[in-house]
Amino acid sequence: MRWTRHRPTVLVALVSAAACAPQAEEAGTAASDAATPAAETAGPVADPTTCAADNGGITLPAGFCASVFADIEGPVRHVVVRQDGAVFLSLAAGREGNAPGGIVALRDTDGDGMADVTERFGPENGGTGLDLRGDLLYFGTDDAVLRYTIPADALTPTSGPDTIVAGLPADRSHRAKSIALSQDGSRIFVNIGSPSNSCQTEDRQAGVAGQDPCPELDTRAGIWVFDANASGQTQTDGERWATGIRNAVAITTHPSTGDVYVVQHGRDNLVQNWPEHFDEVDSAELPAEEFIRVEQGDDFGWPYCFHNPRTNTKVLAPEYGGDGEQVGRCAEKKDPLYSFPGHWAPNDLLFYTGTQLPEDFRDGLFVAFHGSWNRAPQPQGGYNVAFLPMQNGEPAGEHVVFADGFAGGTMQPGEAEHRPSGLAQGPDGEIYVTSDQSGRVWRVVFTGG
């Protein structure tokens, strides 16, 4: 069965056309037309004059528009928005020329949908993770978690950074540390990605077996939790909350339940390393990008297993004797809640709790997909923001591409104009989207038009 991109059943009531629209292949035409909502299901609509004529180069469902909130020097990773509308961005150094990393704070003082006040602070080596509780802003660099105190209405710190955790592993691949605070702000969950593709004795080499047991799991490929209010911690002071997660740049805690959710980056190189078991289509579509709820003690199976969306099962990885169908030890590993298309590269997720968007978006999940590099010779995929309807913390339909066109004319890393990386909800229910292929930040609103 070929993997297809489906329209969410929850949105069918919002557009009669969606019921008869044809399905699209995941790398084909965007399905954003299916997400056109009816104005009467929304909260107060936004002023369309605050939007750019071309939505800043992206495509959105009818009734939505976007302004270019800011164009920042340097690649913007994650974003948080304070209740007074102040926007804070994490920047990663070295991803775009010689632009420094750090934190940028923005404010729109005249309500035109574009920032007109900019402040910059933080270490120039930059980072990815960002979260906010009250006056405390947490920043995940590649090897540490820092904390700043920023009073209400201010854009720059009055104290800090305090080093909450230092010395986190940051060698080789997947160095970025994304973070999520618990509801009460007492704990901080940190993604520590794997340094390899599948824990082979020689990484990404054809026919090379995986290490068993995989030594990387001791310090990486999982979620660790730390005391958010104690400085000077190291990894050994934290607790490994869950394991077998290759790289969860997209991590958050649920706004109602406090549960930890991630969408992880799946492994690569199936046809390149194991052509006796996988062809080019297999390698492009497998494994799924897994949306998972992470509970204490969970094991999701990396590197020994990956999720095959065709059979909806965890299967044994070829480095450990699998052929894409064998299950073996993977029967004991935790399954995902939902499978997104392979190699789309999820970089952030957002549970929508506002009222500015139509009702059927509420409590749903937005995911920013950075975009693939390794689906060739099949078309590349991702480079979009998808929406997944949710109910009681569980998927309630199929995903749809909500925002598209970020890549411009070429879906290739290094050639795409933009690659989505961060998501946040503003105090009025608007959605912010960032790009780390550039420093662009979009502000998306529903106008009802």
* Model confidence pLDDT, tens digit, residues 330-351: 999 999 999 999 999 999 999 9
Residue-by-residue DSSP string for 325-388: S--GGGGGSPPPSEEEPTT--EEEEEE---SSS-GGGTT-EEEEE---SS-TTSPP---EEEEE
Residue-by-residue DSSP string for 249-274: SEEEE-TTT--EEEEPPPP--HHHH-
Q: Which residues of 142-165 are buried (b: 16+ CB within 10 A; e: fewer)?
A: bbbbbbbebeeeebebeebbbebb
| 286 neighbors 228 (Cβ within 8 angstroms) | no
- CATH number of the domain enclosing 172: 2.120.10.30
Task: Please report which confidence band the pLDDT of residue 22 belongs to, taking 50, 70 and 90 as the band edges.
Answer: very low
- Per-residue model confidence (pLDDT) at position 46: 84
Averaged pLDDT, 40-59: 83
| Strand, helix or coil for residue 32 | helix
| 55 neighbors 385 (Cβ within 8 angstroms) | no
- Per-residue model confidence (pLDDT) at position 16: 27
Host H or E run for residue 285: helix 280-285
Host H or E run for residue 226: strand 222-227
- Per-residue model confidence (pLDDT) at position 95: 53
Nearest Cα to Cα of residue 400 among 2, 9, 31, 27: 31
* Model confidence pLDDT, tens digit, residues 178-222: 999 999 999 999 999 999 999 999 999 999 999 999 999 999 999
Task: Please report which confidence band the pLDDT of residue 17 belongs to, taking 50, 70 and 90 as the band edges.
Answer: very low
Number of domains into which the chain is organized: 1
pTM over cut 0.85: yes
User: How big is the chain by its Cα radius of gyration, in Å?
Assistant: 21
Host H or E run for residue 281: helix 280-285
Q: Would the pLDDT of 109 be above 90?
A: yes
- Per-residue model confidence (pLDDT) at position 407: 98
DSSP state of 284: H
Close Cβ partners of 133 (under 8 Å, ≥ 6 residues apart):
181, 185, 228
Task: Please report which confidence band the pLDDT of residue 81 belongs to, taking 50, 70 and 90 as the band edges.
Answer: very high
* Model confidence pLDDT, tens digit, residues 406-433: 999 999 998 999 999 999 999 999 999 9
Query: How many CB atoms within 10 Å of residue 325?
Result: 12
Q: Would the pLDDT of 9 be above 90?
A: no
- Per-residue model confidence (pLDDT) at position 47: 83
The parent domain of residue 245 ranges over 4-446
Task: Please report which confidence band the pLDDT of residue 24 belongs to, taking 50, 70 and 90 as the band edges.
Answer: very low
Which residue would you say has higher pLDDT here, 302 or 98?
A: 302
Rounded to the nearest integer, the mean pLDDT of the chain is 90
* Cα angle: 27, vertex 436, 119; to 5 degrees: 150
Averaged pLDDT, 160-174: 94
